[in-house]
Structure 1
Amino acid sequence: MRLRVLLLVCVSSIALTPAWAKETIVEATSTIDGVIVHPDAATVTRRATIDLPADAATILLKNLPFALDADSLRVSGEANGRVTIGAVEARLAPAEPQAPDTAIEAKLKQLRAARESQQVTLDALAAKQAMIARYSQAGPEKLGPETRPLAIGEWSAAFDAIASALTRTGEELRGARVKAKELDDEIHALEAGTGARATRRPSREIAIAVESASGGRLQLSLSYLVSGAYWRPAYDARLETGGAAGKPQLEFIRRAAVTQNTGEDWNDVALSVSTTRAHRGAAAPEVQPQRVSFYEPPIVYAPKAAAPAPMERQMRRSAEAPMAAAAAPEPPPAPAPAEQQTAALESSAFQASFKISGRVGAPGDGTTKSFILSSRRMTPTLAARIAPALDPTAFLEARILNEEDAPLLAGPVAVQRDGMHVGQSRIAFVAPGEAVELGFGADDKIKVARAPVKRLENEPSWFGQTKYETRDFKTTVENLHDFTVPVTVVDQIPFSETTAITVETLPQTTAPTTKQIADKRGVMGWSFDAKPRETKELRLAYRVKWPAERDIVTQPAPIAPR
């Protein structure tokens, strides 16, 4: 019977004691079996099979990632007999030089010889060009043989010969320089590649002290947290409006873009993505008491030479399915849409993760790989949303409910409406059971106009008088569809946080359906069903009063992020 190993795991950063150092060293090869990717790290599980000798031994696992968190290292295992796991040490392995690539070295030698030969050609052409230029600068009286001046009728032929020689030599020199530049670029590229491969990045070694009375086979499991890996959410929202008769349908696809640069490839692993952040913290921050007292000015002493402040460093570090064309006399079957492979949701009361189907891989060079986590079809609630003070355009909006047990993390949303891409939006964090509104582009069959009706300001004639400003706007909404459309108009009036400034809504204002939207002071909304060819008018009027000796300014108020 296989017995569960007695685990006495102790992660240590000090060297092995002399007693362990005399024991047998067993170098083992481990493979990555599973990875859980968090939004800010990854938990890696390795497996190894070791044939243990009798008595004490030290298992040595090499070439583990440098970014491994030694505090998160955990070891467990199973064996045929009784095996005790002792101290576990995570130590830094220095970078090892690599033997040069002989093929690349031979290519470099060949390129350097060609470059030297090309330099000889460049020097010769440059000397020829300089000689022709010096000959062209001589006077006509020195161009003839036996120092006889050249006849005037021969000057034109001499000029043409010099020009032709300079042109031909210049073209040859330009081509030789281009060839030399190409050789230089190729040499530099190869030299840079060999320099990058000259040494491997530092890694870690794990030494595990074990003791077995009779020896046997040990199935070892090793898990650790590693930085340099993360995943980011992305979403697709595809809306089918259905027109006047049909019901709208929305397909919402959740994706995960996995990126890792840990220095090790994840090949043929069981991959999961978790919504839990590994480095977020385990407890709420401690609230400290605050004391209020009168301000005392600091005592100023004679200045002293300031010591340089220490510098702070922050460490930061799809499978294609081949299609076979079968030659058959009968007509091929009608094409069917390919099914999207999705992940399995594993959720609990406090966390959720998605397990990617099958065994997949992710390269360790920072390449991003995308996976579909889930795809759901739902019936949304459609409405037109208008903010006429900012944009006189009606935008189609769909309200959906997150019915999954996993939250929707903040991320971009690619939006399609009736098969057409209409833009990209973004959602904030959406908890399970919470609703979210998604925009699906402009609705050109709803006409919107907003115009000022009246603006009135008084000019005080004496000190202490109150100054006021009255604003009045009319918004017109016309539905050109042949069916009823729910519409929400959002507008605003300023608000004051001081008693010296008052803002009052005037009686001609159309009563809003919602007096305050999303806890935004002064932001109100009017919701109604716009019937076909119906025109709706809304009025918004307010008055601001303040002391005449002061000036006021209207500016956006800060909004707390979600």
Structure 2
Amino acid sequence: METPLRPQTLAFAAASTSFRNSSILTIVSLPALLAAAPAFAASFEVASKIDAVTVYPDAASVIRHASIELPAGTHTLVFRGLPMNLDPASLRIEGESDGKLSIGSVESRIAPADNAQADSAIAEQLRKLRNDRDIKQTMIDTLNAKRDMISRYAQASPEKLGGDSAPLEIDKWNAAWDVVGGAMGKINEELRVARNDLRDLDDKIKTVENSTRAPDNRTRPLREVTVELEAGSALKGRMLLTYRVNGASWRPIYDAQLTTDAKGGKASLDLVRRALISQRTGEDWKGVTLSVSTARVNRGTRAPDMQTQRLAFWEPPVIMSRSAAPAPPRAKLNAPVQAEAQQSSDEARFKKAEEVESNLETGAFEAAFRVPGRIDIQGDGGQRALRIGSKTVAADVLIRTTPALDQSAYLDVSFVNEDEAPLLPGEVALQRDGAFVGRGQFNLIAQGETTRLGFGVDDRVKVSRVPVRRRENEPSWLGSTKLEMREFRTIVKNLHDFPVKVSVIDQMPISENSAIVIEQLAATTPPTDKIVEDRRGVMGWTFDLAPTASKEIKLAYRMKWPADRAVAFETVPNPPGQSSQPMR
């Protein structure tokens, strides 16, 4: 019959059990352990392996597993070779065993670099390289001697080459030359290869010798963690060490594939979500269970405090003599009115093979994607993209044009994010009917929000915008009013053999000065949207356009201002959170 378990936790340690007839790890203080322990504590260096990693946008949480087999008594477990940038405050130790085991203190310390071991390894490498060089040099010397012997043979008189010192018959001279030439060619080729090998060995020796003088290539200090344990009896178990490290991150990237209907039917949008992961934590993650989370663990945990702001009359600085005492520091003013406090802001910053997809786990305040199987992520900073989600959504297709800036018609697609997880800010690779058309950008899109993407130019919708009239008056007396009237005509023509929905965006200037008056004239085609996306002066006309049909839109307005004043057009920034989707 199994013993009932009672879970106990502490700020730095937690315990659980899964062994038959097992006892829960009791967590006690180190002084209590030392009081009940024998006169000495045995120290064990445990071999641990990274089992699971959760990557955040600005850090990573690592879980190491280590199997233990301990006799009864007090022991110190040592985890060596941990990364230097480990956060000691994040250390947590848990365990499970088939006997009574108590966890005491957990300590992190810096282990000095073992440069002696590094020097020994370099010396051994140099010894092998120099030995190989001596062997290669001996081979070259032997080949040179052999070549000299062949050269002396080739210089001998013909009468000395025959048997019994008789002259060599003339008809055999060609064969003798062939033998000498072939031997010399073979020796020269062997010498060429050997000399190249010798140069390569010299380069390797030089590189290794230089590495001994480069401080960056020396062994760097690491961290080690010690855990105090007390075993009530001989037992077997497993320890779990959890810690957080900087130097790891992930960011979302997306693939958006638009599939249209040649007859103008409903279009569909396949949206693939990927995580681009990189890490330089000082250790490789090999065969780990990997998750990516949207939580930001290195951000602040509370809203900033608002300070009192005072409005006062600006006073020019008082110039003081060098002997006078310096004035107390004052807040710097860029204008008569003190600049408003800056608010902190974080920018989040073939036959197809089936891709493995992550499982989404959502909580009240974050979403995590768990990648199936075991993953390898090297610690060299290389980027690895993993597919973490995909979905096919219904897409609303619209032909959108802004002819005052670009007389082209663009395919504009909008959809609603129905996923439980938000779409984080990231780059989107755009494909339309299998062809790559450019890249866009997502802002943060929460569940239920609508966003749009541009999928390039539609060459079968023609747009033209021309000025129809521009009239100005010339004031003839002082204090009169300057008046200017402008009128534009935009024509949109559908060359498709199916109807399309079109949105034309245009603008007329606005005034924030009562002396400047701007009026929309009756010749203007009434817009369907008088204000587009809360942008004053920006208006839109949305309409359905039949095959081969065209639509004319007029925009006319009048501007008035005092004749003795000059005016200029200024661009007003878009409201926060509203930006166009860039295409490159």
> How high is the TM-score relative to the length of structure 1?
0.76
Contact 1:8 1:86 in 2 (8 A): no
- Structure-1 residue corresponding to 2:512: 497
Q: How far did 1:92 drift?
A: 1.6
Q: Deviation per CA, 1:157-180: give whole Å up to 9, x if none.
A: xxxxxxxxxxxxxxxxxxxxx999
- Show the 5 A alignment for 1:147-226: 189-191=207-209, 195=214, 198-226=217-245
* C-alpha distance in structure 1 between counterparts of 2:313 and 2:55, whole Å: 52
SS in structure 2 opposite 1:544?
A: strand
CA offset digits 1:124-153 (Å, max 9, x no partner): xxxxxxxxxxxxxxxxxxxxxxxxxxxxxx
Cα 1:423/1:111, change in 2 over 3 Å: farther
Q: CA 1:445–1:193 in 2, change beyond 3 Å: closer, same or farther?
A: farther
2:545 equivalent to 1:527: no
What is the aligned partner in structure 2 of residue 475 from structure 1? 490
Task: Tell me how far apart the structure 1 counterparts of residues 452 and 317 of structure 2 sit (CA, whole Å).
Answer: 53
Checking the alignment, whether the CA contact within 8 Å between 1:479 and 1:533 is kept in structure 2 is yes
Match of 2:453 in 1: 438
Alignment of 1:8-47 (within 5 A): 8-10=10-12, 23-47=41-65
The 1:517–1:298 alpha-carbon spacing in structure 2 relative to 1, beyond 3 Å, is same
Cα shift readout 1:478-529 (whole Å, capped 9, x = no counterpart): 0000100001111122222222323222221111111222222222111111
CA contact (8 A) 1:5 1:82 kept: no
Residue among 380, 389, 397 paired with 2:395: 380
**1:406 and 2:424 are equivalent in the alignment:** no
Aligned match of 2:273: 254
Shift of 1:561: 4.2
Match in the other structure for 1:107: 129
- 1:353-401 C-alpha deviation (Å, 9 max, x unpaired): 1110111111111111111111212221111110111111001111111
Change in Cα spacing, 1:25 to 1:512, as seen in structure 2 (3 Å) is: same
Are 2:481 and 1:460 aligned?
no
Q: What does residue range 302-451 of structure 1 map to in structure 2 within 5 Å?
A: 302-303=321-322, 337-451=352-466
Residue 477 of structure 1 aligns with an amino acid whose one-letter code is V
In structure 2, the CA distance between the partners of 1:31 and 1:182, relative to structure 1 (3 Å rule), is closer
- Give, in whole Å, the separation in 2 of the partners of 1:387 and 1:453: 18
Taking a change above 3 Å as real, the CA distance of residues 527 and 246 of structure 1, as seen in their structure-2 partners, is closer
Contact 2:423 2:445 in 1 (8 A): yes
Letter of the structure 2 residue corresponding to residue 100 of structure 1:
A
Deviation at 1:192, TM superposition (A): 5.3
Query: Superposition pairs for residues 70-89 of structure 1, below 5 Å?
Result: 70-89=88-107
| Letter of the 2:366 counterpart | Q
Asked whether the 8 Å contact 2:264–2:500 carries over to 1, the reply is no
CA spacing shift, 1:433–1:213, aligned 2, 3 Å = same
Distance change in 2, residues 1:293/1:114 (3 Å): farther
- Quick check: 1:295 aligned with 2:317? no
What is the DSSP-based 3-state SS (H/G/I as helix, E as strand, rest coil) of the residue aligned with 1:379? strand
Give, in angstroms, the shift of residue 461 of structure 1: 3.0
- The whole-number CA distance in structure 1 between the counterparts of 2:136 and 2:483 is 85
User: 1: distance between equivalents of 2:454 and 2:386?
Assistant: 24
1:239 and 2:258 aligned: yes
- Percent sequence identity is 44
SS in 2 for 1:29: coil
- The farther-off stretch of 290-299 and 265-274 is 290-299
In structure 1, runs of 5+ residues without a counterpart are: 116-177, 307-334
CA RMSD for the aligned pairs? 3.2
Would you say 1:542 and 2:542 are equivalent positions? no
- Contact 2:12 / 2:93 at 8 angstroms: preserved in 1? no
Q: Are 1:516 and 2:535 matched, yes or no?
A: no
Decide whether aligned partners of structure 1 residues 511 and 63 sit closer, same or farther in structure 2, where only a CA change above 3 A counts.
same
Q: SS of the counterpart of 2:298?
A: coil
| Structure-2 change in CA distance of 1:454 and 1:182 (3 Å) | farther
Secondary structure at 1:107 match in 2: helix
Change (3 A) 1:545 1:86: farther
The CA deviation at 1:184 is: 7.9
One-letter identity of the residue aligned with 1:439: G
Aligned to 1:134: none
- CA–CA distance in 1 between the matches of 2:317 and 2:71? 72
- Alignment-derived partner of residue 324 in structure 1: none
- Indicate how the Cα distance of structure 1 residues 108 and 279 shifts in structure 2: closer, same or farther if over 3 A, else same: farther
**Which residue is equivalent to 1:118?**
none
Q: Name the SS for the 1:380 alignment partner.
A: strand
Q: Which amino acid aligns with 1:449?
A: S
TM-score, normalisation: structure 2: 0.74
Query: How far apart, in 1, do the equivalents of 2:480 and 2:130 lie?
Result: 88
Q: CA deviation at 1:112?
A: 11
Counterpart of 1:529, as a letter, is D
**1:400-454 CA deviation, whole Å, 9 max, x = no partner?**
1111111111111111111111111112111111111111111000001011111
The separation in 2 between residues aligned to 1:180 and 1:52, in whole angstroms, is: 54
